Structure 1
Amino acid sequence: MRLRGWIGLATLWLGSGGCSGNAEADGAMSACVPSCRSGYACVGGSCVSACNPPCAGHETCVSSGTVAACRSDDAGTAAVDATSPKSDVGPGVDATAVPDATAPSDVVAPADGSACGRPGETCCDLRYCAMGGECVATVRDGAIVGGTCRVAPAGVNECARPEDCTGAGEVCGGPVVSGAHLCFQCGRSTGTLGLLAACTSSAMCASGLCSLRQCSTPCATDAECATRSPGAVCTAVRYANTISATESVFVTRTVCVRGCARNADCPGGQVCHPVLNRVTDHLDFICQDTPAMTGPAGTPCTSGETCQSALCPAALMAGRPSVCTAPCVIDADCPAAAPRCADYLVARPSGAAQPARGCFLP
């Protein structure tokens, strides 16, 4: 039988915001503050349903440790987890990847069921606002403790795609800051590197934008990115403008980066890594620098935090241990320690199930 369980997805690459200059993306880890209540798992800094597949409408997901199960709503109420210590995310943390672009719903509600993401409402996951809005976050003692969404004001020469820029030699790059507003902006680039080339600064890229250590460009759809460069997908990246020690402004924007279905799709030094896409309610797989976690596919695990792929799914068969997985298409994509490429389910940002393929024990 297939076990009902949850994946641990703890590592998302973060970047840095800039004003009147560029915001670059680099790496850090995100945590859930406050901690997720019973039935929810911390996935890339977000509380999502711990049950995969999701529970039916008359059921509630209840978790204990690394085990989660659906329980009928007439079986009693779920316990609430204790409050976690302060987050290690503070001022200056800048970009969290999330990709694609044709969303059925781009609002991800908090675990307590309260509304979030729209202007005047609280920021989802303390950082995310839907429909291009900005999250004005409050920081206390180095931790984000709350935030409110607002409509993003129009910036000078603001653009959403390269086609918005009509001046000779102009590209849609950045992001730059107008007041406290982060946006992409039309301007000339002095960079020479092509789309998806490795970069450490937007100034290096002909597109005028370096996101997640790749030359990128703003986008609206996966198809648009694939036309610009085969294999590219439209992923969302969250940038931050640190206003002061007590205030930061977060925005989520979509850009083209290298997509993947297995590690072999990525250049040397990178792996195929999952990222949460709150814009499309999707878990996307993109090429990113190999994270610090040391557990390759086949390593025993209880949480994705110890896995190179950030994925520790439930075993395919009852009684088998969970091991770190890796994205795959066929068995040949998997290592000897986890040689079987099989279908399983991962959690979207909303907690709904999404089909995926990963390496498992035989």
Structure 2
Amino acid sequence: MTQTMRWFGPNDPVPLQGIRQAGATEVVTALHEVANGAIWQRDAIAARKAVVQDSGLDWTVVESLPVSEGVKIRSNDWDQLIDHYRQSLTNLAACGIDVVTYNFMPLLDWTRTDLAWTLPDGARALRFEAVAVAAYDIFILRRPDAAASYDDATCAAAEARFAAMDDAARATLERTIIAGLPGSEEGFTSAAFLRAIETYADVDAAQLRENHVAFLEAVCPLADTLGIRLVVHPDDPPFPIFGLPRVVSTEADIAALFARVPNPSNGLCLCTGSLGVRADNDLPGMVDRLGSRIGFLHLRSVQREPDGAFHEAAHLDGDAGMAAVVAAVHRLSVREARSIPMRPDHGHQMLDDLNRTTNPGYSLLGRMRGLAELRGLERGIAHAAEGSA
């Protein structure tokens, strides 16, 4: 695997030198300063790549080139947005970028309810709690008919949770869910979020799937000729929230997408954390069955908890079964004679980083620990495979 780390650009509190010292050879990054739907200009891409290369690293994977909400709902400016996306792809290819990550989640990117949940060892992790989401949805956002999205027990627990929170706790929960996490495409106030939800009134899961297919049919032929692999990031979490559909949550979802749009450029960013939230997703099996479509790997693990909650576990712990996943990736790499870019995702905030300003999930030391563990795991698997050959 090609070892990378995510870098959020010049304002990232983690410097490129730190990423290089952690053992990565590349960064994955984006022009986060460019508005969604605008064209990524070739000069800006080249300038950012020069900064990365001057540090001794490389940049060949974009994460992410956002798909505008207008594309997801097929708004009146769909044609213009598609043209802009195509031009951005052309400019990226001209600068040597050959993997472009995107997602098709309505409005919110990855969602958590606690950005600093304390673990038994004193480190901090990201956590998602379904009851907290329900408390926000029903009693803070006040989405019409929100209670119908939850069972009676969850509604009762959400009411108790809301009642127990003071104004500061309620504001923190609101900010955590909708204000925008690192790499997310949008940030909202509750009033703006409620208005945005209304734009999806006529977009159910079936329609969102059709809109996704239409997007790919419009951009994949160009991506094929450019030699770019478009890799979709799975839904995080992999189920509907706030009444909004999510359609890249299971192996069946992904396989159906590939069947509808068989272009070589239509690929997958296999995120073991996002997909691993669901116990019915067989992660090593997905590597084996979808392998030729996998263009990028997010390797992290979550620990599932009761009642739909989960938190970010250490990279080799939790429910992902990381040893089996990396063994499957090694088989794929050998079979197809390619090194797949990967990054350790969502590290714990730990050690000296507990006293530093960091992007939630993207402090250096937790990701460095994860990268070291994953590197050692891969080398051990490769060595064992060579010994048995």
More helix per residue: 1 or 2?
A: 2
More strand per residue: 1 or 2?
A: 1
Fold equivalence (TM over 0.5): no
Q: TM-score, normalised by structure 2?
A: 0.28
